[in-house]
Every structure is written in structure tokens, then in C-alpha cells.
Structure 1
Amino acid sequence: MTASLIALGLYFTGYCLLHSLLASRRCKRWCLQHWPALMPAYRGLYNLLAVLLLLPLLWLYLQASGPLLLQWSGWTGWLMNGIAVAALVGFFSTSGDYSMAEFSGSRQWRLRHFGARDPDQQAVLKLGRWHRRVRHPWYFLALVLIWSRPMDAAQLLLSVLATLYFVVGSRLEERKLIAQFGEAYRQYCRQVPGLIPLPGRTISATRAQELEQQANQSDVNGSA
């Protein structure tokens, strides 16, 4: 069991490191410089690799699974299941806050523009309903989902590592966003919490629109 947990932890850590490396501006720019023809497919290939590499993770998880350390029962079980369902509904409701075509890579492939410019300059800042309350809605909802489940040793290990990854990964992601959108994104970070929504730390739809305009205008000027 201990060896299985170590293998699971090491693989998941490597998966997270590779995921962050391939998402970095440096890696994208290196690919743009050496393989510009690949850039329209970069996001799609990135997503495909992420999914394929989950298969060994699933196998390792099944090998390391054991007796439950924590199991919700009675009214707490109903409560945690309700929280998990609410998180899944939240994932569905956030879809309008993201460009799913851009997230999947279909937009990049369709437009074929990455060979001519920095791939990070293709995106625009969009602050939907969820983003007015928390900067990383998907990370928050994922945390709610994983910590509302029963826990065995393997699940607990993955939950802890995933939480650390969301904390570190969100910081790395925001470094890219600040570099891209400048002062507008810095202001947004000061006004809206990162991973956990907090009372009184929200912005209005009007303020969100102002920040979007400032950020996207700055991005256009910066890429001109």
C-alpha cells in the first residue's frame, strides 16, 4: 500500500508539473519559434495529452485504493452529496463565463492565427458572473467537489496534492495574466479573492466591464 501511494503521489506531481510547463508562456513561445505550424493545434494537443495521461493516474489510483478513512453518513452524507451536486451544477453554470471554443482549441485551429503572433495575445479578458466573486471558479468548485467525497488514503493524498496544485497553479496562471493584461488584472486581483469567495469581496457587472475594457485595450496596445 505504501509503495502504491508513493507511486501515485509521484505520478500526480509529475503530471501537474508537466501540465504547468506546457501551459507556460515560455513553452508556447519556444514552440512558436521552432514549430510555428503546430501552434493552431497546440491547445487541442495539450488537452488531448492531459486526458491521455490521466489513464495511468486512474490505474495507479485504483491500485492504491484501500479502506475508507472518512465516510459521511446520515445527515452529513446527504449534506456532502448535496454540496457535490451543487458544485457540478456550478461547473455547468460557469460554461458561459468561458470561451469553450478557445478552451478546447477549436477556435485556434479554425482561425489559424498563432503562427503569426504570440499565442497568448489571442485571448481576451472576460469576467462573467462567477469571476466577479472568485478569480478561479473552476478551481474553487473542484476543491468543493473533492473535499466533499469520502476519503481513503489514495483519495486523501490526491486531494491534498490537488489543493496544493490549485494554489500554486493559480499563482502561476495569474503571473501570465498580469503580464498580458497589466494593471487592469492587478486591480481585479486586489478586489476579488483567488480561490475561495469571501463576503464583501465582489465587483459589480459595471466594474467588471470596465476592467475588461481596460485589460483588452491594454492587450491590443501591447501587441500592436
Structure 2
Amino acid sequence: MPLIINHIILVLLWGLFGILHSLLAAGWWKQIMQRWLGTHYKYYHFSYSVFAALSLTGVLIFQYSVESPLLYTVPVCVKLVLCLPALVGLLIMGVVIKKYFFSLSGISVFYKQQPPVVLEQGGMHRYVRHPLYFGTLLFIWSLFLIYPYLNNGLACFVITVYTVLGARLEEKKLVAQFGQKYVTYKKQVPMLIPGLFPTSG
């Protein structure tokens, strides 16, 4: 019974993380915080990033502290092959985070020079609209196939659902921000998986 309960808690924690992440990034919530915080609102993005990092760390600590059953055995040769997409996903995540750390983390509030708001269409954005999400999904699913424990599978499922829904919510904000320019971009480049037929959804 504790095994089942722990895995239910794990799913709930990942779900709560996704809900809070989306809520705190929502435009209507930011407007509320802006009215409440006043001039201190400029620190909201940075505080949000710190909270997201700490809560993510907490969920991961719980996930890997849970005793979880192995779903199937993976041959060593298969594990070695799967290391390649896992490393590619990790590399993509690293490149994107490094490139956009200044704006993604909110640390720019501590600098006088603010990063310009532009619609990025070069680099990996030529192949997929959300390269960070693609890299994340590639990494976590490859990791699950290498280490097919139930806790990893549940985490992958919840993260994937949240990522798809979150990407759609984010794109509504991007359309509002960049207008027809982003609508055209959506028709040319797939959302999450390179090579797929582009969709405006």
C-alpha cells in the first residue's frame, strides 16, 4: 500500500508543480501581482524562477527517494544506444538555457540593460518552435527507456501532458505579443517535434 500511495503522491506533486508553474506565469495572475507589488513587481520574474527551481528540486528528490518497481529489463547494448538521444536532449536543454538564461531566469532585473523582446526564429527555432521543451521530452523519455522504473514512467507521462498543454497556453501569449508574425511562424515550424507537419494548434 505505501508503494501505491507514494506513486500517487508523486503524480500529484508533478501535477501540482505544472499547475503552479502555469498559474504563476499566467497573464491575469501577473496583473494581480503587479497591482499588489507595485514597484517591486520587477523582481517577480526572478522570484518565480527561484521558486520554480526549488519546487522542481523538491519533486525530483521525492521521486528518486521513492522505492519503485522495475517495469522491464533493458539489455546493456540497448542502454548504450539510448544514451545518444538522452545526451542530445540534454545538450539541447543546455544550449537553450545558456542562450536565454538572462531572460528566462529574470536575473536581468539586476542589470540596467534589459534584453530586447524579439521573436526568435533562427538556430534550433528553425526546426521546432519550443526547442527547450523538445530537448526536455527527448531527455526524460530516453532516460525512462534506459531506467524503466514506474516512478520515471509516471513522471514522464505527467511532464509530457503538462508540456503539451503549457506550450499551447504559451503560444496564445506569443500570438497576442507578436500577432500575425507568430501566426505565420506557427504555420512554418512544428511545435514540439522537428520534422512533423507544422500545426497552428
Tell whether the structures are fold-level matches, with TM greater than 0.5.
Answer: yes
Q: CA deviation at 1:14?
A: 0.8
Q: Which residue of 2 aligns with 1:91?
A: 93
Q: CA deviation at 1:71?
A: 4.2
Provide, for residues 180-219 of structure 1, a one-character-per-residue CA deviation record: whole Å limited to 9, x for no partner: 1111101111110000001686xxxxxxxxxxxxxxxxxx
Q: CA deviation at 1:89?
A: 2.0
Q: How does 1:166-205 map to 2 (within 5 A)?
A: 166-198=163-195
| Structure 2 residue 140 is the aligned partner of structure 1 residue 146 | yes
The one-letter code matched in structure 1 to 2:190 is P
* Aligned-partner Cα distance in 2 for 1:39–1:72: 49
Unaligned runs of 5+ residues in structure 2 are none
Q: CA deviation at 1:38?
A: 2.2
Q: CA deviation at 1:63?
A: 4.0
1:13 to 12, 15, 18: 15
Q: Secondary structure at the match of 1:45?
A: helix
Question: Given the two structures, how large is their TM-score scaled by the length of structure 1?
Answer: 0.78
CA contact (8 A) 2:190 2:196 kept: no
Q: How does 1:102-141 map to 2 (within 5 A)?
A: 102-111=103-112, 123-141=117-135
Aligned length: 192
Q: Which has the higher mean CA deviation after the structures are superposed, 148-157 or 122-131? A: 122-131
The one-letter code matched in structure 2 to 1:100 is F
Q: Secondary structure at the match of 1:187?
A: helix
Q: CA deviation at 1:12?
A: 1.2
Q: CA deviation at 1:129?
A: 1.0
Q: CA deviation at 1:27?
A: 1.3
1:68 to 67, 70, 73: 70
Q: Which has the higher mean CA deviation after the structures are superposed, 189-198 or 75-84? A: 75-84
Q: How does 1:10-49 map to 2 (within 5 A)?
A: 10-49=12-51
Q: Secondary structure at the match of 2:194?
A: coil
Provide, for residues 157-202 of structure 1, a one-character-per-residue CA deviation record: whole Å limited to 9, x for no partner: 000000001100000000110111111101111110000001686x
Q: Secondary structure at the match of 1:53?
A: helix
Q: CA deviation at 1:106?
A: 1.8
The one-letter code matched in structure 1 to 2:169 is L
What RMSD over aligned residues (CA atoms) do the two structures have, in Å?
Answer: 2.1
Q: Which has the higher mean CA deviation after the structures are superposed, 165-174 or 48-57? A: 48-57
The alpha-carbon distance between structure 1 residues 182 and 79, as it changes in their structure 2 partners (threshold 3 A), is same
**Percent identical across equivalent pairs?**
32
CA contact (8 A) 2:86 2:139 kept: yes
CA contact (8 A) 1:40 1:108 kept: yes
CA contact (8 A) 2:129 2:192 kept: yes
* Aligned-partner Cα distance in 2 for 1:180–1:78: 43
Question: Given the two structures, how large is their TM-score scaled by the length of structure 2?
Answer: 0.87
Q: Which residue of 2 aligns with 1:101?
A: 102
Q: CA deviation at 1:41?
A: 1.0
CA contact (8 A) 2:89 2:137 kept: no
Q: Which residue of 2 aligns with 1:213?
A: none
